[in-house]
Structure 1
Amino acid sequence: MDDVIPGPDQGERSDGRAVRLLGAGEIRALAAELDVRPTKKLGQNFVHDANTVRRIVRLADLAPDDVVLEVGPGLGSLTLALLDRAASVVAVEIDPALAGRLPTTAAEHAPDRALHVVTADALRITAADLPQAPTALVANLPYNVAVPVVLHLLAELPDLRRGLVMVQSEVADRLAARPGDAAYGAPSAKLAWYADARRAGPVPRGVFWPVPGVDSALVAFTRRATPSGRREDVFAVVDAAFAQRRKGLRAALAGWAGSPADAERRLRAAGIDPTTRAERLGIEAFAALAATPPTG
């Protein structure tokens, strides 16, 4: 059962300053002011329930000195709750109209909080594009690009130590899956290169406007030491293995290795049974396989 959290309209930081969160009526009023019509192309489904954003922030387990990266802040409902807990928030928003309004919303509802808005595509940002180095990612991610965004940010932002993201429920299953799980695939293995991940709970459809046609869930992750080897080489093996996941690895990796015989030789060199399928291998096994010398 969730902990008791503040009521739907406001919360209070340890310094006593109140932050007033957005309600459903204010979300729609802001959208009307900006002439914003949520689009599937940008994955726009705005959270209008203040209790939900409080829950997300609580589950993110933020420290007072955290610099939080929020991708796709939209109209600012989650942003305000993050400003209530973190040292500062760096919000990356691709929509110029939404990005332009967000500082005003923050000033009206969460005065004197440190907010930095960057108008950019999260799939293209680098550390140099951000005013501060984020230590945590907390976001309601656009569902159509959620996996590449998480992987890109972990690759580009070395100070990003942990995160809590809202994604489509099936994507949450894939990101948090372990070897042998039905949902385990290339996204699971690639995220495991950077971090340990787990499902952190469901999110009901009714807290969004407009109501999405899919279920949502939270995924929490904590960065860990990466396996040895070059990420590009390891991910190439992962992609090749899961491209034909119904085949044993000897057959699935024939193109990557040069031939079925070469694939078998490299699999045996890595201590892997050539008849094993991709979904049985953890990221360390893929790294070991990538490190085996090619035929020459």
Structure 2
Amino acid sequence: MTAEQIRNDGLLGASDIRTIAAAAGISPTKKFGQNFVIDPGTVRKIVRTAGVTHESHVLEVGPGLGSLTLGLLETGAQVTAIEIDTPVAQQLPHTIAQYMPDAVNRFRVIEMDALKATPENTDLSSDETLTLVANLPYNVATPIILTLLERFPHITSFVVMVQKEVADRLSAKPGNKVYGVPSVKLAWYGTASPAGVIGRNVFWPAPHVDSALVEFHRYDEKRYINDEELRTQVFELIDAAFSQRRKTLRAVLKKIVSADAFERSGIDSSRRGETLTIEEFITLAQALNQTQATPHIDK
């Protein structure tokens, strides 16, 4: 164990990360958007923000060389990690065994693309709530988040570190200039809020952009949350409404939503999609269903 490792109280510092990578023949790749965290203080901030305790079961996506993984295990939590990069996935159990041997039985890594993960192929039972905690690759962060929330209804909260621009979009509210498709779709599942900005110097290699944390909590109860047919329809409306965001709803949805549906919903068709809440998109979808279900009677 290195002197730096002792100073970091069991977590990985910059020299530890470089030593592990060199020994395993691993180099950060652009293909998988790898920027490894080298600052224990940042790791503990993420873990603390996520509220992880010894009672938690954490799903970590993209664990990399194990910086955040060790911080999660430090709490006594059980951790299931999903890693797409084969050499990294193979190295991770050895790192846990070396730096935190008492946690070996509380950790497992699954080598796969997180976008292909399901409760079945990960053996993550819906009987147990999950907390998602991850340092996500910038280029696939939003698809990963929305896919996992759709497939794993027992993910009740998350804290993710993403590019600051992505974080701003995920937590944006109606009327904000960066409010868009990710903002509204995430709001289908729960509430998101910014949880702090992370500088570039806590990564190896240092990225060219700042990062930020997003905190999310799934709704305890929403009457529409398990309606897959409604969700699909609402998401189609969202995609269409933001496909030309400067146009009015009347113009951009003219092939999908009738004037009658707008009238039934009580939503002014001269508004733009960027002004609608998730509840209003749902109301519009329900009004559309009502108009389609109502038979036309010729007079």
**TM-score under structure 1 normalisation?**
0.90
The structure-2 alpha-carbon separation of the partners of 1:183 and 1:8, relative to structure 1 and needing over 3 Å to count, comes to farther
Q: C-alpha offsets along residues 37-92 of structure 1, whole Å, 9 cap, x if unaligned?
A: 21222110000011110111111112321100000000000000000114300000
Match of 1:98 among 81, 88, 93: 88
**Is 66-75 or 177-186 further displaced after alignment?**
177-186
How far the C-alpha of 1:215 sits from its partner, in A, is: 0.9
Match of 2:36 among 27, 46, 58: 46
Displaced runs of 4 or more, over 3 A? 131-134
The answer to whether the 8 Å contact 1:67/1:86 transfers is: no
User: SS of 2:69's equivalent?
Assistant: helix
Residues 1:234 and 2:225 are matched in the alignment: no
2:49 is matched with which residue? 59
2:254 is matched with which residue? 254
1:3 is matched with which residue? none
Pairs within 5 Å for 1:134-283: 135-224=130-219, 225-226=221-222, 228=224, 229=227, 230-257=230-257, 262=258, 264-283=259-278
Q: How many residues align structurally? A: 276
RMSD after superposition:
1.5
2:8 is matched with which residue? 9
The answer to whether the 8 Å contact 2:52/2:77 transfers is: no
CA distance in 2, matches of 1:31, 1:269: 60
User: SS of 2:255's equivalent?
Assistant: helix
Q: Which amino acid aligns with 1:191?
A: L
The answer to whether the 8 Å contact 2:136/2:161 transfers is: yes
Aligned residues: percent identity? 50
User: SS of 1:150's equivalent?
Assistant: helix
CA distance in 1, matches of 2:171, 2:140: 17
How far the C-alpha of 1:256 sits from its partner, in A, is: 2.6
1:37 is matched with which residue? 27
**TM-score under structure 2 normalisation?**
0.89
Q: C-alpha offsets along residues 103-138 of structure 1, whole Å, 9 cap, x if unaligned?
A: 111111112220010000001100112233451000
Gaps (5+ residues) in structure 2? Answer: 1-5
CA distance in 1, matches of 2:67, 2:211: 17
CA distance in 2, matches of 1:62, 1:34: 29
CA distance in 2, matches of 1:192, 1:78: 27
